[in-house]
Amino acid sequence: MKRCSKLLLLLLFILAACDDGESIPDGPQTIRKEKISGFVQKGPFVSGTSILMSELNSELTQTGNIFTSQITNDQGLFEINNIELTSSFVEFTASGFYFNEVSGQISSAPITLTSLADLTNKSSINVNVLTHLEKKRVETLMKEGKTFGEAKDQAKREVLSIFSFVLESNADFEDYDISKNNEEGEILLAISIILQGNRSVGQLTEILSRIQNDFSDNGVLDDKNILNSLISSTLNLDLKKTRENIEKRFIELNFNSTIPNFEERIIQFLSTQDYQINLIIEGKGTVEEKVVSTPNGRSYPFQTIVELTPVPEEGWVFDGWGGDLNGKEFTKIVKVDRDINVIVKFRQPVFRLGENGVTCICENVRAGEKGVINGVEFEVVDNSLLRQRIEEGVDLSKLCTSMVTDMESLFLQLVTFNQSIGNWDVSNVTNMKWIFSQTSFNQSIENWDVSNVINMVGMFAHSPFNQPLGIWNVSSVTDMSYMFIDSPFNQPIGNWDVGNVTDMSWMFSESNFNQPIGNWDVRNVENMYMMFRESPFNRPIGDWNVSNVTDMGFMFFKTPFNQQLENWDVSSVRNLKGMFNVSQFNQPIGNWDVRKVNDMTGLFFTTPFNQNISSWCVTNILSEPDKFSTNSPLSPEYKPKWGTCPD
């Protein structure tokens, strides 16, 4: 009885407290949802994607109450059933593979997207790139005192402004669906494609994170490099192909809705950006920029048409475009649909006389250009234009040949050609093969810089040429075969550096040449066949290093040659056929190493030769060759012992 009295007193105390106007707080309210569903979309996420729904408190901090699910089909659909929450705020996290609208393929790696939502009046929540982008901004705004609804509204406007979109719809981003043919669907699909571009999954994840982090503090995308990256990648998209990819995927997924007009939104995104033409000047000059057509009347908006005209300074010429442009058109029409880097190239052509006061040199020029030296106009020619001008019969002395590299057969068989071209710049020429062969050419070209010429085969063959060439630098020449054959050439060239020449066959054959060349470095020569054939040559060459020569056939045929050759190293020679045939040679050569020679036919035919060569090693020749010493006084005992190699 005493215990009941105490309980009664306690009850009366509580009732008295209530009468004083004080209330007892309610317990936590329970929010029950039979089902929450939605779609996860980049393109649609595929079956197997994991879904995590985390309960958040009023400060958007996780309470620890978590629900999990999976996407059940390739449309990106998920469901979470029998939900009990103590807060209406939740965060959805979806991680999985998705359909890439740009490539038309399932992504090669998973991606994670998030979404914040208030479930008070909602049972359908979508997860997409827009819900993901707004998340951190919503969190920041709530920390600044905004309600959840206010933060969501402001963040939505700010995210859309990044892409220059404005939408008065009250729908939240979690209500947007790319399969719906409405404004929200257009915008979501367009932004999904803009963000994707041609990026890999890793690159897409990176740019989403960069936008989130940059944007979250003030609702503005401050890093212009991010925007430029989005613009650049979007400009490279094939929107027609992208639509085809989406249409095919919608058919596969049995989506019956019309694909939103994302193309118009993408063009809107590009059209609201301003672009730069960045000019880089090489040389001296400027560029005139003339706006030909602009859709919005503003300076260089999307698809502005600009006419660029180079204006070189005096003495300079326009030389072409570079950077994002190419070609040499003097006026260039540019459609400004992105930032464009333009290199405008100017150069300063130079026409001058060389140090010798004779050679016409043109530098930094192009074929067909003209310049003046001492009141005379010269035209620049290259390989093809030079040959064209020769056919046209122009005054060749008024051509600047600094660009020419090949003069092979340039005047070949032009039998009357004999123009003065001593002022030509041939410093870049590498080939003069047969250049004056079978012409009437006999003009001074001593001032020619032939230092880069490699091939002089038949250069003056069968021509009347006989002009000084003693100062020529022929150090690059490797082939002088036939160079003066059948010409009257007989000028001093003893100072020539022939150290790289490998072929001197027929070089002075049937010419008038008889100049001292005993100092020549012929160590690399391999072929001296017919070198002095039927010429008057009779100069000392006994100090020549002929150790690499393999062919001396008919070398002195029908010449008056009779000089000492005892010191020659002929150990590499294989052909001595007719070497001294019908010559005046009669010098001691008994110490020659001829063991590799396999042909001595007519070697001393009709010569006065009578020297002892009995010690020659002639194991390659088993019997006396035909006409070996016919009509010569060579004593039998001086002849080699055929087929033997005496000690």
Q: Which residue has the tokens 């901090």?
A: 61
> Exposure of 10 by Cβ count < 10 A (0-12 exposed, 13-18 middle, 19+ buried)?
exposed
The residue-averaged pLDDT of 561-576 equals 98
User: What is the pLDDT at residue 2?
Assistant: 40
Residue-range domain boundaries for the chain? 31-271, 277-347, 550-647
User: What is the pLDDT at residue 630?
Assistant: 98
DSSP-derived 3-state class of residue 379: strand
297 has a pLDDT exceeding 80: no
6 has a pLDDT exceeding 60: no
Total-model pTM: 0.59
How many percent of the chain have pLDDT more than 70? Answer: 92
CA 237-243-248 angle, to 5 degrees, is 130
DSSP-derived 3-state class of residue 463: coil
The residue-averaged pLDDT of 579-587 equals 98
User: What is the pLDDT at residue 19?
Assistant: 44
Task: Give 21 or 284, the one with higher predicted confidence.
Answer: 284
CA 462-464-469 angle, to 5 degrees, is 105
283 has a pLDDT exceeding 80: no
User: What is the pLDDT at residue 291?
Assistant: 63
pLDDT band, very low/low/confident/very high, at 292 (cuts 50, 70, 90): low
| Structure confidence by residue, pLDDT tens digits, 322-336 | 998 898 888 888 877
Residue 623, number of CB atoms within 10 A of its CB: 9
| Structure confidence by residue, pLDDT tens digits, 188-212 | 999 999 999 999 999 999 999 999 9
| Structure confidence by residue, pLDDT tens digits, 528-540 | 999 999 999 999 9
606 has a pLDDT exceeding 60: yes
Query: Alpha helices, DSSP H only, in 73-176?
Result: 129-143, 148-162
123 has a pLDDT exceeding 50: yes
User: What is the pLDDT at residue 15?
Assistant: 39
User: What is the pLDDT at residue 274?
Assistant: 65
- The whole-chain average pLDDT of the chain stands at 91
CB-based contact 359:423 (threshold 8 Å): yes
The residue-averaged pLDDT of 49-61 equals 95
How many percent of the chain have pLDDT more than 90? Answer: 78
User: What is the pLDDT at residue 299?
Assistant: 47
5 has a pLDDT exceeding 90: no
Task: Give 224 or 587, the one with higher predicted confidence.
Answer: 587
| Structure confidence by residue, pLDDT tens digits, 422-462 | 999 999 999 999 999 999 999 999 999 999 999 999 999 99
Task: Give 275 or 573, the one with higher predicted confidence.
Answer: 573
CB-based contact 343:323 (threshold 8 Å): yes
User: What is the pLDDT at residue 543?
Assistant: 98
| Structure confidence by residue, pLDDT tens digits, 144-194 | 999 999 999 999 999 999 998 988 888 999 999 999 999 999 999 999 999
556 has a pLDDT exceeding 70: yes
Residues belonging to the chain: 647
| Structure confidence by residue, pLDDT tens digits, 365-420 | 999 999 999 999 999 999 999 999 999 999 999 999 999 999 999 999 999 999 99
User: What is the pLDDT at residue 12?
Assistant: 40
| Structure confidence by residue, pLDDT tens digits, 514-528 | 999 999 999 999 999
DSSP-derived 3-state class of residue 110: coil
User: What is the pLDDT at residue 481?
Assistant: 99
Torsion of CA 397, 402, 405, 409, to 10 degrees: 0
